[in-house]
Amino acid sequence: HIGDVSAQTMIDVLRDKDSGVCVDSESFLTTASIVSVLPQDPSFPSVHYFTGTPDPSRSIFKPFIFVDDVKLVPKVQSPSFGDDDPAKKIPRFQEKPDRRHELYKAHEWARSLLESDQDKGQKLMRIMLDLEKQGLEAMEDILT
């Protein structure tokens, strides 16, 4: 891909199980995968594509542009436990709260469907990849 490396190229690399780059989520969990497009022209924004889930082969990359006063998306924020957080209580870490955010839970559901029902799983994967493609195209439009 010399001279023609795109965000899609890098996403494909991160999904490549045969090369060992994409590790199956059964054997090793990562937090997320990211691909960043850093334009040479500083007047263009940098675009970052995050999975927010552990397995890029079963997840989509969602575009994000960092801006001032960004609105946080509740579905990708781990729950807050305030003063009841085991990390804040003394003695610390006596409990293990469920810190999975809604996107992570949806990823787990999708993973289960992909593994248990091939037809529904493939249909879901096509829908997810179509959404990802729409995001890639929208960001490409912004950069051009």
**Closest alpha carbon to 59 in 28, 19, 32:** 32
Confidence of residue 79 (pLDDT cuts 50, 70, 90): confident
CA distance 134 to 68: 24
Mean pLDDT of 75-85: 85
Question: Are 31 and 51 a contacting pair, CB within 8 Å?
Answer: no
Confidence of residue 10 (pLDDT cuts 50, 70, 90): very high
What's residue 31's pLDDT?
73
Task: List Cβ neighbours of 13 (8 Å cut-off, separation of 6 or more).
Answer: 19, 21
Q: Could you state, in order of their start, the residue ranges of all structural domains in the chain?
A: 7-70+98-141
* Lowest-pLDDT choice from 14-18, 26-30, 95-99, 134-138: 26-30
E-state strands within the chain: 34-37, 47-50, 62-64
Question: Are 9 and 37 a contacting pair, CB within 8 Å?
Answer: no
What's residue 50's pLDDT?
92
Confidence of residue 27 (pLDDT cuts 50, 70, 90): low
Mean pLDDT of 103-107: 84
Q: What is the pTM of this model?
A: 0.75
